[in-house]
Amino acid sequence: MALRFMHAADLHLGSPFVGLGKVDGDVAELVRNATEKAFDGLIDACIKNEIDFLLVAGDVYDSADRTLRAQLAFRNGLRRLSRAGIRAYVVHGNHDPLDGWSAALQWPPGVHIFHGEQPEAVPFDRGGTVEAVIHGVSFPRREVRTNLARRFTRQDGDAFQIGLLHCNVGDNTGHAPYASCTVDDLAGTGLDYWALGHVHTRKVIRSRNPAIVYPGNLQGRHINESGPRGCLLVEMDTAKQVRMEFLPIDTIRWSRETVQIKELDSDEALLRALEHAIEGIRDREDGRTCICRLILEGRGDLHRPLRRRGYIEDLREAARRLGRQLDPLVWVDALEDRTRPPVDVKALRQAPDFLGDCLRLIDKYAGDADHRTLLEQCLKPLHRYLQMPTDAELVSLLDEVETILIDDLLGEDKE
């Protein structure tokens, strides 16, 4: 008989939004409840789709010192599942290891939380017949650097066999290397499906024999977690073929939008362009409340007023008011000015004067890795006080220096 289950991970219940500026009123309330509402949406989706069981691949909570509120939210959601006759299988990850604080709560029937160190094999039976075996292991502590995947072993029998693991696969440098393993390690276990957690962006590493999948997190928590977030509805047929469907579950969506100033000739035109951008975000994000970052780019005459003291802050507040009037609302968290003066930089760079000398020097450092290494050596004494920039950040800083020089030496008044 075919299996139908939900694969979710990285719920981070109780997590604050990272890098978000000050919010107030209804927006603050939406942000405060976002991860819990997303989890409620997951439970709703499980019940609506009449699944056999839910898999949660780690980081249920945001920290080892998990709050009582977050634990109650998780327990209450699983209680709803249990009442609907749906089982749940849960592992803990690096954010919520087993040695963290846990309230003395009673879990509802049909919930299995895997212990640490060695994988357990838990049968899923229906009508007395074992139709699947779920293999899983939790992080006993935050720092798990050993390869846990190699400890999994397929059991004898024809039942579907699923691995549930929080880990970093391959050389994914964007995430901490906890329980690192390779695709070959996972495939070599002989399991049919690997339900992974830890990577917050949805990723199908392998679609069959076995399927190896990250569903991503349920709710984006900062600007770099933009776009739809959710879970995977998975069906496995009797031939062990896998079909996956992504279900967006997030309640607040992050977005980044660029507005070009090149063709804009007035402050009014800029406001209209921002309004158009905000409405576009609202229209494309599936009826979700949105938190957005607007980025002004391009060379144009509006660069000068944008550099006036207080102008960009006033413009952000005007854009924020526009977004708050929409339904659902779009909260403009930040407005970045990356515009440039309307000048011919190439001509200025070739000029035989002080500004030309400076621009040529900046171009040399920005365009040549060896010169940037020399610049980094010059900056090393500051390492005690400041975090050293990456190579990409250094190039961006040089670009900003170029703009400041052109503004100041050509008399671009900021007052």
CA pair distance 40, 46, nearest whole angstrom: 10
Quote the CA–CA distance of 197 and 286 in Å, as a whole number. Answer: 25
- Specify the pLDDT at position 381: 83
* Alpha helices by DSSP H, 140-261: 183-187
- What is the distance of C-alpha 81 from the center of its chain? 26
SS3 content of the chain, % helix, strand, coil (to 5): 35, 25, 40
pLDDT by residue (tens digit) across 6-18?
A: 999 999 998 888 8
In the predicted model, is pLDDT for residue 414 greater than 60? no
pLDDT digits (tens, 9 = 90+) for 181-231: 999 999 999 999 999 999 999 999 999 999 999 999 999 999 999 999 999
Average pLDDT over residues 263-272: 95
Q: Which two tokens stand for residue 49?
A: 């789709």
Angle, vertex CA 66, rays to CA 64 and CA 72, nearest 5: 145
| pLDDT score of 415 | 39
Q: pLDDT band for position 369 (50/70/90)?
A: confident
Closest CA to 102 of 55, 146, 138: 138
The DSSP annotation for 70-131 comes to: HHHHHHHHHHHHHHTT-EEEEE--SSS-TTS-----PPPTTEEE--BSS-EEEEEEETTEEE
Q: 3-class DSSP state for residue 168?
A: coil
Q: Is the pLDDT of residue 303 over 90?
A: yes
Would you give the DSSP letter of residue 150? Answer: G
191 DSSP assignment: -
Provide the 8-state DSSP code for 149: G
Confidence at residue 411, expressed as pLDDT on a 0 to 100 scale = 64
Q: Note whether 218 and 229 are within 8 A (CB).
A: yes
Written as one string, the DSSP assignment of 353-389 is SHHHHHHHHHHHHHH-HHHHHHHHHHHGGGGGTSPPP
**Contacts for 145-148 with beta carbons within 8 Å, 24 or more apart?**
145/177, 145/178, 145/179, 145/180, 146/179, 147/179, 147/180, 147/181, 147/185, 148/119, 148/179, 148/181
What pLDDT digit, counting tens, does each position of 116-136 carry?
989 999 999 988 899 999 999
Q: What pLDDT sits at residue 174?
A: 63
Q: Which residue segments constitute the domains of the chain, with CATH numbers given?
A: 3-248 (3.60.21.10), 252-409 (no CATH)
CA–chain centroid gap for 12, Å, is: 11
Question: Using 50, 70 and 90 to split pLDDT, how confident is the model at 1?
Answer: low
Residues pairing with 339 in the sheet: 298
* pLDDT at position 410 over 60: yes
Q: φ, ψ for residue 252 (rounded to 5)?
A: -125, 135
Tens-place pLDDT, residues 326-344: 999 999 999 999 999 888 8
pLDDT at 173: 53
